[in-house]
Structure 1
Amino acid sequence: MGIRAILSKPIANFVVSKQKKWASDPSGTQQKVFKYLIDKAKHTAFGRDHDFAGIKSYEDFKKRVPVRDYEELKSYIEKVVDGQPDILWPDKPLYFAKTSGTTSGIKYIPISKESIPYHISGARDALLNYVYNTGKSIFLDGKLIFLSGSPEMEMKNGIHVGRLSGIVNHHVPGYLRTNQKPSYQTNCIEDWEEKLDTIIEETIDQRMTLISGIPPWVQMYFDRITARTGKKIKDIFPDFSLFVYGGVNFEPYKAKLFESIGKKIDSIETYPASEGFIAFQDQQDSNQLLLLLNSGIFYEFIPADEYFNENPTRLNINEVQLGVNYALIMNTNAGLWGYSIGDMIKFVSKDPYRIIVTGRIKHFISAFGEHVIGEEVEKALKFAVSKHPETEVIEFTVAPQVTPKEGLPYHQWFIEFNKFPNDINAFREDLDAEMVRLNTYYDDLISGNILRKLEITPMKKGAFIDYMKSIGKLGGQNKLPRLANDRKIADQIEQFKQV
């Protein structure tokens, strides 16, 4: 056992003991974060505009600070991008994480000197929790690969601008840099397919023990290795023992990924965002994510069914209930206030507070009032696959077909199969039946002959990769939306269907 593996165990004990301390006092922990944020920002332009000096409680805060998304906070962010100090947070941010929004075009999310350490410690603590809970640490002595965006950055009015994964890459602890893959030069390659081929060259003969990335892009990496060698990943990387992922629900990719590996291995789910590191899976026997209440973020929660109301209910950590979908609202130590990140979460534990991510608040289908969300389509697909275990799904997305050439409207499922169900009509029936069970509004529309049963459009192999390539979003941190309330994506991906 190497020095990294040996030292990680006492460090893991220390980190988890601190974690248990703040987790045992969730209300006090969040109150300290709240007070710190308000005190720190009261002399900023935003703090003066919203009378932070007069805020003594969370109730005061809600009266002064409305919930906003990026577009609604943009007038402040543009001043920060222009190089003005003390707008949303004292001084200027260290970085802007550059992302592409669905409605706002390019977004510039500020990262401050106070917030960047939490982006790093979140990922570190996810690994240390794994070490603490399993006793396994030898993976730290092998090569670790992080499939991410380019670490190259540009300057904008004296502030570094780059992708979140690239920014974080600059802060990987020194003790891990010597066994990190790919090389900096390879990570800077912009073309994803060229980058992937170069990564394979750098890693195929290495002792890889940990692989991290968004599941569909890791799958692409595995597929290319297998195409080149004719072997399962376990035979190329026999010491590969831990997969770390985030950004999407793992379930739709799980069977295919483990089939490519050739054995089941441990995995850790993380919940990082440009706005802050929110949660990670802290137990191997559960997919629940520990909400990080001590990471410079004061959280608010809006019941999802109230989100689009003029005055929705806003709750703090003390007021949430188990099993309810909430829109996640963040107030951060980088200067985002009442900020709607666009995600929906559900609490599954209060001791400590653990969550699951259930979808995007604006990614839904409600063409007829059914309000189908990401959690429901993923659960329904998982159910259908369990009923037809020969089936393997690579990727999918769902959209409404409101004006079919004939018959009633329906939900159109675009599915790329690695292995087709033996009876696709029976698969479709089971998928639709589970959607009916999961969503009472959908059930009413089907039984009331307003919608007909869903239709499956099988996609050709590599269809979604080809689609992402066609829109310039192949690889990195880019993700395909699970569902949409319009046909913008659906009409584009039709060209990639099986004929």
Structure 2
Amino acid sequence: MSLKSLGAKVFAKQIQRKIKQWSSNPEDTQMKVFQQIIAKGKYTSFGKNHNFPRIKTYREFADNVPIRDYEELKPYVERMLAGEESVLWPGRPLYYAKTSGTTSGVKYIPITKDSMPTHIEAARNAILCYIAETGNASFVDGKMIFLQGSPEMQDKKGVKLGRLSGIVAHYVPAYLQKNRLPSWETNCIEDWETKVDAIIEETRNENMTVISGIPSWVQMYFERLQKKTGKKVGELFPNFDLFIYGGVNFEPYRAKFENLIGRKVDSIELFPASEGFFAFQDNQDEKGMLLQLNSGIFYEFVKADEFFDADSARLTIGEVQIGVNYVMIVSTTAGLWAYNIGDTIQFTSLMPYRVVVSGRIKHYISAFGEHVIAKEVEEAMQQAILETGTRISEFTVAPQINPEGDELPYHEWFVEFEKEPQDMEQFISILDKAMQKQNSYYFDLIEGKILQPLKIRKVPQEKFQHYMKSEGKLGGQNKLPRLSNDRKIADKLQKLIKTD
């Protein structure tokens, strides 16, 4: 055992004990965070506009600070972009994380001197919790790859601007610098396909032990690696034993990953975003990720099915329940106040508080009142995959409201198969029954002959990649929406399919 791996084990146990201290006192931990951010927020323009100097309790905060999304917070951000200080948080941000919004176009999320360390510590602690639990620290001696955006920065009135993954690249600890791949030059390549090819050349002969990134883009790297070398990823990298991912549910990709690798590897799920690093998987045997209650983020939750009601209740951590779909609202040391990040979550445990990401509040299907969410389609797909031995590369779902002829409407699943089911009708039946079991509204619509069972449209290989490229969203942190309430994605995919 190397000194580095031994040191990692000792440090991991220390961090694990600290995490248990705050996670076993969730409400007190959150109240301390609340008091700390209010104390600083009262010196800002936002705080003065929302009576922060007089706020003593959470309820007073909720009465004075309405829930906002980026579009509603944008006037404050624009003042910051123009160079004004102490608008949302004292002083000026360290960075703006540039990200694409579904309704707001480009978003500029502030990252401050107070919030930046929480991103780094949470990522570090995810790995340390894995080491403390499993005792496996040998991977720290090998090479690690993080598929991410370019670390190059622009300037906005003296504040650096870049993608979150590129910003984080500047904070890789010194003791990991020699282990990190790809090179700085390769990481700066903007074209994703060119970048992946360069990464392959840099990594194919290295002792890769950790690989990290959004599953769909790591999958692309694995596929091209296998095509280039003629070997399974696990054969090429015999010491590769840890996959770290975030952004999307890994389960629909798991079977294909295991086929590409040639064996199973451990994995750690993360829940990072430009607005904050919210959760990470702290236990290999537990479903869900540990919510970061001690990271400068104060959480509120609103039931998703009540979110658009005028009198929807705002709940704190002590008021949530397991299995309910909540919109997650955050107030942070970056100056986001009662901010709707757009994600929906469900709690899988309340001691400690663990969550799964169930979807996006704006990404759902409810063309007929069924309100299907991402978690439901992902779990249905996973069940069909497991029961039929199928492997998929990607999928998305959309409603077909106006089918041809006298057909009933239906949900159309666009699926790129890596290994098709032997019996497609059986696969569809399993998928549809799993959807009916999870969603009572969908069940009623099928039973009432309002909808017919779902249909699958097979998508040829790489057509999803072609779609993302046509949208300027190939690679990096971009993710394909799992489902949509309209036909925008579906119609573009259909055109790509017809040109095949």
TM-fit CA distance, 1:463: 1.2
Residues 1:25 and 2:62 aligned together: no
Report the equivalent of 2:402. 403
Give the distance between the partners of 1:405 and 1:209, measured in 2 at CA: 52
> Comparing 281-290 with 190-199, which one deviates more in the overlay?
281-290
Deviations 1:328-373 (A, max 9, x none): 0000000000100011111111111111111111100000100000
Alignment of 1:141-180 (within 5 A): 141-180=141-180
Residues 1:438 and 2:438 aligned together: yes
Report the equivalent of 1:369. 369
Give the distance between the partners of 1:249 and 1:81, measured in 2 at CA: 34
Structure 1: tracts of 5 or more residues without a match: none
Structure 2 residue matching 1:161: 3-state secondary structure: strand
Structure 2 residue matching 1:403: 3-state secondary structure: coil
Give the distance between the partners of 2:286 and 2:268, measured in 1 at CA: 10
Report the equivalent of 1:256. 256
Q: What amino acid is aligned across from residue 282 of structure 1 in structure 2?
A: D
Structure 1 residue matching 2:312: 3-state secondary structure: coil
Give the distance between the partners of 2:429 and 2:422, measured in 1 at CA: 13
Q: What amino acid is aligned across from residue 396 of structure 1 in structure 2?
A: F
Structure 1 residue matching 2:171: 3-state secondary structure: coil
Q: What amino acid is aligned across from residue 323 of structure 2 in structure 1?
A: G
CA RMSD for the aligned pairs? Answer: 0.9
Structure 1 residue matching 2:323: 3-state secondary structure: coil
CA contact (8 A) 1:85 1:92 kept: yes
Give the distance between the partners of 2:85 and 2:282, measured in 1 at CA: 38
TM-fit CA distance, 1:3: 2.5
Give the distance between the partners of 1:102 and 1:29, measured in 2 at CA: 33
CA contact (8 A) 2:97 2:108 kept: yes
Report the equivalent of 1:454. 454
Q: What amino acid is aligned across from residue 402 of structure 1 in structure 2?
A: I
Alignment of 1:6-85 (within 5 A): 6-85=6-85
TM-fit CA distance, 1:311: 2.3
Q: What amino acid is aligned across from residue 68 of structure 1 in structure 2?
A: R
CA contact (8 A) 2:208 2:240 kept: yes
Structure 2 residue matching 1:405: 3-state secondary structure: coil
Give the distance between the partners of 2:315 and 2:82, measured in 1 at CA: 34
CA contact (8 A) 1:270 1:279 kept: yes
Structure 1 residue matching 2:36: 3-state secondary structure: helix
Structure 2 residue matching 1:449: 3-state secondary structure: coil
CA contact (8 A) 2:329 2:340 kept: yes
Deviations 1:400-438 (A, max 9, x none): 111112211111100000011111122112211111111
Give the distance between the partners of 2:312 and 2:172, measured in 1 at CA: 40
Deviations 1:161-197 (A, max 9, x none): 0000000000111111111000111000000010011
Deviations 1:293-326 (A, max 9, x none): 0000000000111111112110001111111111
Give the distance between the partners of 1:24 and 1:280, measured in 2 at CA: 16
Give the distance between the partners of 1:270 and 1:227, measured in 2 at CA: 29
TM-fit CA distance, 1:286: 2.2
Report the equivalent of 1:236. 236
Give the distance between the partners of 1:433 and 1:17, measured in 2 at CA: 44
Give the distance between the partners of 2:353 and 2:429, measured in 1 at CA: 37
TM-fit CA distance, 1:483: 0.3
Structure 2: tracts of 5 or more residues without a match: none
Report the equivalent of 2:421. 421
CA contact (8 A) 1:152 1:188 kept: yes
Alignment of 1:288-327 (within 5 A): 288-327=288-327
Report the equivalent of 2:392. 393
Residues 1:208 and 2:208 aligned together: yes
Deviations 1:220-259 (A, max 9, x none): 1111111011110111101101000000000011100111
Residues 1:273 and 2:273 aligned together: yes
Residues 1:473 and 2:473 aligned together: yes
Alignment of 1:348-359 (within 5 A): 348-359=348-359
TM-fit CA distance, 1:378: 0.6
Q: What amino acid is aligned across from residue 37 of structure 1 in structure 2?
A: I
CA contact (8 A) 1:144 1:181 kept: yes
Give the distance between the partners of 2:2 and 2:155, measured in 1 at CA: 40
Structure 2 residue matching 1:364: 3-state secondary structure: coil
Report the equivalent of 1:483. 483
Q: What amino acid is aligned across from residue 295 of structure 2 in structure 1?
A: S
TM-fit CA distance, 1:497: 2.8
Calculate the TM-score normalised by the size of structure 2: 0.98
TM-fit CA distance, 1:387: 2.2
Give the distance between the partners of 1:419 and 1:209, measured in 2 at CA: 27
TM-fit CA distance, 1:83: 1.4
Give the distance between the partners of 2:381 and 2:342, measured in 1 at CA: 23
CA contact (8 A) 2:409 2:451 kept: yes
CA contact (8 A) 2:287 2:348 kept: no
Give the distance between the partners of 2:497 and 2:380, measured in 1 at CA: 22
Structure 2 residue matching 1:206: 3-state secondary structure: coil
Q: Which runs of 4+ in 1 moved over 3 A?
A: none
Alignment of 1:339-354 (within 5 A): 339-354=339-354
Q: What amino acid is aligned across from residue 400 of structure 1 in structure 2?
A: P
Report the equivalent of 1:283. 283
Q: What amino acid is aligned across from residue 353 of structure 1 in structure 2?
A: Y
Percent identity over the alignment? 57
Residues 1:119 and 2:119 aligned together: yes
Give the distance between the partners of 2:156 and 2:32, measured in 1 at CA: 33
Deviations 1:9-59 (A, max 9, x none): 111111111111111111110000000000001020000000001111010
Give the distance between the partners of 1:360 and 1:115, measured in 2 at CA: 24
Report the equivalent of 1:192. 192
CA contact (8 A) 2:142 2:209 kept: yes
Give the distance between the partners of 1:159 and 1:173, measured in 2 at CA: 23
TM-fit CA distance, 1:496: 3.0
CA contact (8 A) 1:457 1:497 kept: no
TM-fit CA distance, 1:278: 0.3
